[in-house]
Structure 1
Amino acid sequence: MPTKYQGEIIIQRRDGTIYDLEKEGIKVINFDPPSANFQHTYNQIGKFGAELVDTQIQQMSIPLTFDVTARDNYDYELQRLKVLRIFSSTEPFYVINMRTPFLRWKVVADSFTYPRLGNFWKAKNVAINLVCYDGLAESTATTLDPFTFDGDTYGIGMGIPFDTPQYSFTNQAQFNILNPSIIPLLSNERPVTITFKGDAPSGLTIKNNTTGQSFTYFKALSSTDEFKLIGLVPMVNGVQRLGNGLSNREFVDYAIGNNNMEIVGATNFTIQFTTRFYY
């Protein structure tokens, strides 16, 4: 897969700044993301067994180890300051392994030391513990991006079929939404944004027949309105519409795999589903 980067590990700050660690003189020794940190709760049901009550995914720790070689003592200090800037954790940042450029982990770094190799101009085996508090990697692309396997947006192993899935529909009352993630997309945790434009003179209902959930907006919508359902929050033309008389105050989640969707009460419409996927 072609890439414009020299190294395998990329740090992406939330302001868009990108650090190619190899190009920055940081030689990565290992970057080994573990499995999701599953935490299980059990209930003893008898003398000889228990039942699984609940499973959660908690934050996981990703070890990153690297060396930094400088040109002299002064450059050594400049390199140290650069490393501190790259891994500053006053806010989260993303780490991307260019072997799988379609995935990224949102992380913060625990405090770390910068050990010097004797009195040589080299920091040896700098070990950083990156904490991914979301617990999973996410796709670098959203469903608004083209589904291509040659643009570093999607890749084999993500569970996406070669028959390109659709997430935008026109005048189609029933359709399928694919969630290839390893978790359900819950509206209160990883909200999907639904954008609707069209005529709904008696209100709009969005159903997920797979999960048995249904959201209804009671008020009339015209083709000049833009309606959005962002997880739990309905919005019309950029204004939140949370009042009791405005909707049934329900929500729509998305199961793993295929979700049979249905739109009721709308004509001459387009509807679009925007999300990332999680692995």
Structure 2
Amino acid sequence: MVKLYLDFDNGLGEQSLDSLLPQFEVLSFLAEAPAINRETITIPRRHGVISAQHPRDVTYSSRKVTVEIYLNSKIHNNFYMLRHQLYALLVKPFAYYISTDLWPNRRFLVTCDGNFSIPKEKEKTHAVFSVEFTNITGMAESKHSTKTAQTQSGENWNIGMNLQSVDNLAYYFKNQKRFSVFNSGDVQINPLDHAYNVLLNAKGKNVTLINHTNGEKLTIEQELKKSQQVSFLKQYALLNNKPIKTSGRLPNLEIGWNEFEVQNTDDFVIEFDTRLYYL
């Protein structure tokens, strides 16, 4: 039996559909292929179309995730009650996460707007139907962040997540002026669209973080004490949770290896805390 897990971000964690409503059994889980939003132009006397953007600027649109489900109510009257229990469980005004054991350690942020029905044939107490979810980000994300060690022998990461042959990739660095950060996902990570944060404690003035892989850098335009922590909320840099002045932006993480450098400090610790994203 296929497992469907639901996480409504309500503190209860993920729960399987069959534990919440045992009369429902998931038969299949189908996510559409990723859908790219691509900007192109046409030029007179040139064949086809010309790409108008760098590949790193390509974005993904939402996509459908279709789950096929079997209901067996056993009793006619129960059919109607169970049908509406499922409607109430899945059709929400807010987005939530779904996942499946077929694709472990990944989850989809979805909405379900109720574009499905569960018809009952006269003499039958069972039915097969499909529920359509909308994966609003257009991609899956890892259930765990880089704070959880990426080991191939554990239960938090698995084959198919582009793991390296060496366990325990480093995302925490102390007084190491140059270091490498690995993005094992399929998507460039940026703080506006993704759960991506950097935690920095440093002593110095105009401390600068550079990603030499893509040329992006951030400078904190004030003097820092080692006891103060800099973090990030989308495009904002925060010092002890209060906005501070910066130039540039928190560097994105390109797919694969990212070569970083920290300047204007010799006394610092830095940690990259991000989920990874898959197509």
Provide TM-score, normalisation by structure 1.
Answer: 0.88
Structure 2 residue 145 is matched with structure 1 residue 179: no
Note the 1:51-62 alignment, pairs <5 A. Answer: 51-54=50-53, 55-62=58-65
Q: CA RMSD in A?
A: 2.0
Q: Following TM superposition, by how much is the alpha carbon of 1:93 offset from its aligned partner in structure 2, in angstroms?
A: 1.4
- Residue by residue over 1:69-89, the C-alpha shift from the partner in whole angstroms, topping out at 9 and shown as x without a partner, is 113234323322321232122
Instruction: Tell me what 1:146 maps to.
Output: 149
How many residue pairs end up in the alignment? 268
Q: Could you tell me which amino acid in structure 2 is paired with residue 179 of structure 1?
A: N
Structure 2 residue 158 is matched with structure 1 residue 155: yes
Instruction: Tell me what 1:227 maps to.
Output: 230
Is the Cα contact below 8 Å between 2:110 and 2:133 reproduced in 1?
yes
Instruction: Tell me what 2:8 maps to.
Output: 13
Alpha-carbon distance in structure 2 between the residues aligned to 1:80 and 1:19: 19
Q: Aligned pair in 2 of structure 1 residues 73, 16: CA closer, same or farther (>3 Å)?
A: farther
Q: Following TM superposition, by how much is the alpha carbon of 1:127 offset from its aligned partner in structure 2, in angstroms?
A: 1.6
Please point out which of 189, 208, 231 is paired with 2:193.
189
Q: Aligned pair in 2 of structure 1 residues 47, 273: CA closer, same or farther (>3 Å)?
A: closer
Instruction: Tell me what 1:27 maps to.
Output: 25
SS at match of 2:191: coil
Note the 1:55-70 alignment, pairs <5 A. Answer: 55-70=58-73
Please point out which of 62, 73, 96 is paired with 2:76.
73
Q: Could you tell me which amino acid in structure 1 is paired with residue 227 of structure 2?
A: T
Is the Cα contact below 8 Å between 1:14 and 1:92 reproduced in 2?
no
Note the 1:1-279 alignment, pairs <5 A. Answer: 7-17=2-12, 18-23=14-19, 24-45=22-43, 46-54=45-53, 55-111=58-114, 112-122=116-126, 124-163=127-166, 164-190=168-194, 192-200=196-204, 202-241=205-244, 246-279=245-278
Q: Could you tell me which amino acid in structure 2 is paired with residue 19 of structure 1?
A: Q
- Residue by residue over 1:92-116, the C-alpha shift from the partner in whole angstroms, topping out at 9 and shown as x without a partner, is 1111111222111111113221211
Q: Following TM superposition, by how much is the alpha carbon of 1:47 offset from its aligned partner in structure 2, in angstroms?
A: 4.6
User: Percent identity over the alignment?
Assistant: 18
Provide TM-score, normalisation by structure 2.
Answer: 0.88
Q: Could you tell me which amino acid in structure 1 is paired with residue 183 of structure 2?
A: N
5+ long unaligned stretches in structure 2? none
Greater CA deviation, 39-48 or 205-214? 39-48
Is the Cα contact below 8 Å between 1:204 and 1:216 reproduced in 2?
yes
Instruction: Tell me what 1:3 maps to.
Output: none
Is the Cα contact below 8 Å between 2:2 and 2:28 reproduced in 1?
no
Q: Could you tell me which amino acid in structure 2 is paired with residue 28 of structure 1?
A: V
- Residue by residue over 1:155-189, the C-alpha shift from the partner in whole angstroms, topping out at 9 and shown as x without a partner, is 11111202132111111111001112222112332
Alpha-carbon distance in structure 1 between the residues aligned to 2:35 and 2:96: 20
Q: Aligned pair in 2 of structure 1 residues 49, 114: CA closer, same or farther (>3 Å)?
A: closer
Alpha-carbon distance in structure 2 between the residues aligned to 1:100 and 1:148: 17
5+ long unaligned stretches in structure 1? 1-5
